Structure 1
Amino acid sequence: MNPLNLSTPAEHPFAPYVRILGKGKRGARNLTQDEARDAMGMLLDGQVEDTQLGAFLMLMRYKEESPEELAGFTQAVRTRITAPPIAVDIDWPSYAGKKRHLPWYLLAAKCLGDNGVRIFMHGAGAHTAGRLYSEQLLQQLDIPLCRDWSAVAHSLDQRCLAFMPLNDWMPGLQRMIELRNTLGLRSPIHSLTRVLNPLGARCGLQSIFHPGYQEPHREASRLLGDSSIVIKGDGGEIEVNPDVAGHLYGTANGLAWDEQWPALAAQRHVKPERLEPDHLLAFWRGEVADAYGELAVQATVALALRGLGVMREAAFEQAQGYWLARNKSI
């Protein structure tokens, strides 16, 4: 009788990265920046099993991503972007959606674009129920939807504003985001999209809603050599909430800086009972007034100008001028 022919299967090349994160309280550790870059590269290149993908994302979610990991992930993404050189002033990720207030930030972006500030916006669609996403309002607000880099370049040259869905330039990340309803939790990919700044804009704006995440995001941008401002934006979008004081976590030229912005309203505004997108258009045209919306738009415009080096008081004065002189026709 022949003995059983037993052999140990070879370990999958991605298994070490799962093991680093999941080896237990004493054995687990963060990935180094190089390890994070290599791991994300394998994920994007489809070199992992679905079980490994789910395990990796949830282990990262449980422990929370480090600045070095975010920076390494971003490096992997950037090396796989096929965009030609396109000049951009502001990188504007829009991935959270709004549920308590209208997306006033879209009007801020329009206002900036009308005044020559080149803004590249990107997002990932309606991955969470009950929220209003940028993509749902682009046509109504006459914000160009671009499906390739050539269209982005043309739109920025003509309108200084372009929106491109994540799925059109990094479908691997889009797939990971769409696992949210399969895994039951958002993964670190939702955070990563804020850091990406795929076209190397002069300043990347980032909104991180959950406390404690702002500083790691700033540090990730610093490690990458980027200039950025991270805020706790309303609903997770890049939108200043005028009812509360805000903290700006900035980085430029390899150095971190901080700035506190006071609340702009003496008392909190009443939240709308429901979100009516038509109200945004009517407000832009000057057909209706909205005290909260006016403050939110102007403060968000000022935030972008602050990211381009304008000091706070001058940024608010300039933002008010942009808003009052806007072209009200759409």
Structure 2
Amino acid sequence: MTLAQHVRTLGRGPGRSRSLTLPEAEDAMTTILAGNAAPEALGALLMLLRMKGETAEEIAGFVRAAQTSVAGLPQVDLDWPSYAAGRTRGLAWFLLSAQLVARAGYRVLIHGWNGPDAAVRQGVEAFGIPFAAQPADVEALLDRHGIAYLPLETLSPAVFKLLNLRDTFGLRSCVNTVCRMLNPAKASASVQGVFHPSYRLLQADAAQLLGWQALSVIKGGGGEFERNPAKPIAGFGLRGGAPWEETTSVLIDETRRMDDGERDAAQLRALWDGTRTDDFAEAVVIGTAALALDTLGADAPEDLARALWRDRKQPLAA
């Protein structure tokens, strides 16, 4: 089946068009990633999907095909995608949360691309999260540190190229959601942030179709998996492969924007080292780590996150 057939399915017009089935979506993405799609057909497909809104079956099919473009990766406990882009955000406090989860003995893989927003990549470097230049580097970094960051451009150059069509279209496409759902190491647990709340259930439903066991999706800081401790946060996803919803309680009585204008990535290490005192930022870190630990099935995750934060002062990766 050619990509033109899938464009025809989506674009026949009122009363005749329909969404793609999961197998059709998988076939479409397989065709695209193989380089067998005309650019006009590719653009038409992605924009038709944007106009009608993607279904969970379409996202699941795209993800299933996209995973085949990823090199084999070692076993990981927690998948942590980072793909918020195009909007200014504050410091990437969630990186400290991911480090806490790794300190609890879980293997954590962060992967991503954030477009012109350099906050996450700068934070990875400044805080000392090990950076995997190639997929082949991941296993050694995980064995040594329990955590690694893998950039999308080396994880899957083909998907990276699709994601950057945003610059051509001037609009996001379903590829943004596919990247968040990519789970390249096929971890049994994943945490995901979204900017638009409507995507929380879409990603949860797609994950269930893919047979995932544990997932937490929240509307997070700047679109990342980062919990605002001053607000109740609605979480959607899976526990034991079944749909899960829960609203977390407020952790701190303070009104503050997640994007407070601060951009000095060195402040991440300062908070970790204790040379910076910031109750709100600490609550972001602890609350985000607690939700990630809950996703992993840890007992008393908030108590564990607080204990990990209290005992955090151990050497980090250089």
- 1:14 aligns to what? 3
CA contact (8 A) 2:218 2:234 kept: yes
State the SS of the aligned residue for 1:257.
strand
Secondary structure (helix, strand or coil) at the match of 1:140 reads: helix
Distance 2:252 2:271 in 1: 19
Tell me if 1:248 matches 2:243: no
Write the distance in 2 (CA, Å) between the matches of 1:20 and 1:258. Answer: 33
1:157-176 alignment to 2 at 5 Å?
157-176=143-162
**C-alpha displacement of 1:329:** 4.5
Describe how 1:72-151 pairs up with structure 2 within 5 A.
72-84=61-73, 86-97=74-85, 99-125=88-114, 127=115, 129=116, 131-151=117-137
- 2:188 is aligned with what amino acid? R
The corresponding residue for 1:155 is 141
Residue identity in the other structure for 1:91: D
Find the aligned partners of 1:236 and 1:223 in 2 and give their Cα distance.
Answer: 23
Deviations 1:103-123 (A, max 9, x none): 100111122223322101101
Matched, 1:204 2:190: yes
How far 1:237 sits from its partner (Å)? 0.4
**Structure 1 unaligned spans of 5+:** 1-11
Contact 1:231 1:247 in 2 (8 A): yes
Q: Is the 8 A contact 1:123 1:135 kept in 2?
A: no
2:182 is aligned with 1:193: no
Distance 1:35 1:57 in 2: 14
Partner Cα distance (1:291, 1:266) in 2: 10
Cα displacement (A) at 1:99: 2.5
Q: Given residue 247 of structure 2, which amino acid in structure 1 is its aligned partner? A: Q
Please give the alpha-carbon distance, in whole angstroms, between the structure 1 residues aligned to 2:39 and 2:148: 33
Cα contact 1:209–1:236 (8 A) shared by 2: yes
Q: After TM superposition, give the deviation of residue 293 of structure 1 in Å.
A: 0.7
Residue aligned with 1:216, SS:
helix
Counterpart code for 1:49: A
Corresponding pairs, count: 313
Question: Does structure 2 retain, via aligned residues, the 8 Å contact 1:146–1:163?
Answer: yes
Deviation at 1:328, TM superposition (A): 5.3
The correspondence for 2:221, drawn from 231, 234, 242, is 234
The answer for the alignment partner of 1:320 in structure 2 is 306
**C-alpha deviation, 1:211, in angstroms:** 2.0
1:249 and 1:61 mapped to 2: Cα distance? 22
1:179 to 161, 165, 172: 165
Alignment check: 8 A CA contact 1:78 1:196 kept: yes
Distance apart, 1:304 and its partner CA: 1.0
Instruction: Give the structure 1 partner of residue 54 of structure 2.
Output: 65
Which letter maps to 1:81?
V
2:22 is aligned with 1:33: yes
Amino acid at match of 2:82: S
Q: CA-to-partner distance for each residue in 1:251-291, whole Å, 9 max, x for gaps?
A: 13331121111122224125523322122121111001112
Residue 237 of structure 2 aligns to a residue whose secondary structure is strand
Residue 6 of structure 1 is matched in structure 2 by none
Aligned mates of 1:259, 1:132 — CA distance in 2? 31
What's the secondary structure of 2:110's corresponding residue?
Answer: strand
SS in 1 for 2:124: coil
Tell me if the contact between 2:29 and 2:65 (Cα under 8 Å) persists in the aligned partners.
yes
Q: Which amino acid in the other structure matches residue 300 of structure 1?
A: T
Match of 2:312, SS state, is coil
Any idea what SS the aligned residue of 1:79 has? helix
- Give the TM-score normalised by structure 1: 0.90
Matched, 1:299 2:307: no
For the residue of structure 2 that corresponds to 1:101, the secondary structure is coil
Identity of aligned residues (%): 36
Cα distance change, pair 223–298 in 1 and its aligned pair in 2 (3 A): same
List structure 1 runs of 4+ shifted beyond 4 angstroms. none
Take 1:134 and 1:279, find their aligned partners in 2: how far apart are those partners? 13
Residue equivalent to 2:298: 310
What does residue 259 of structure 1 align with?
Answer: 246
* Distance in structure 1 (CA, Å) of the matches to 2:249 and 2:216: 17
- Does residue 36 of structure 2 align to residue 47 of structure 1? yes
Larger radius of gyration: 1
- The Cα of 1:179 is off from its aligned counterpart by 1.3
Could you list the runs of 5+ residues in structure 2 that have no partner in the other structure? none
Secondary structure in structure 1 of the residue aligned to 2:125:
coil
Q: Secondary structure at the match of 2:176?
A: helix
Q: Is the 8 A contact 2:47 2:173 kept in 1?
A: yes
Q: CA deviation at 1:202?
A: 2.1
- SS of 1:20's partner is helix
CA distance in 1: counterparts of 2:289 and 2:241, whole angstroms = 24
Q: Relative to 1, partners in 2 of residues 1:100 and 1:137: Cα closer, same or farther, differing over 3 Å?
A: closer
Q: Determine if contact 2:90/2:261 at 8 Å carries over to the other structure.
A: no
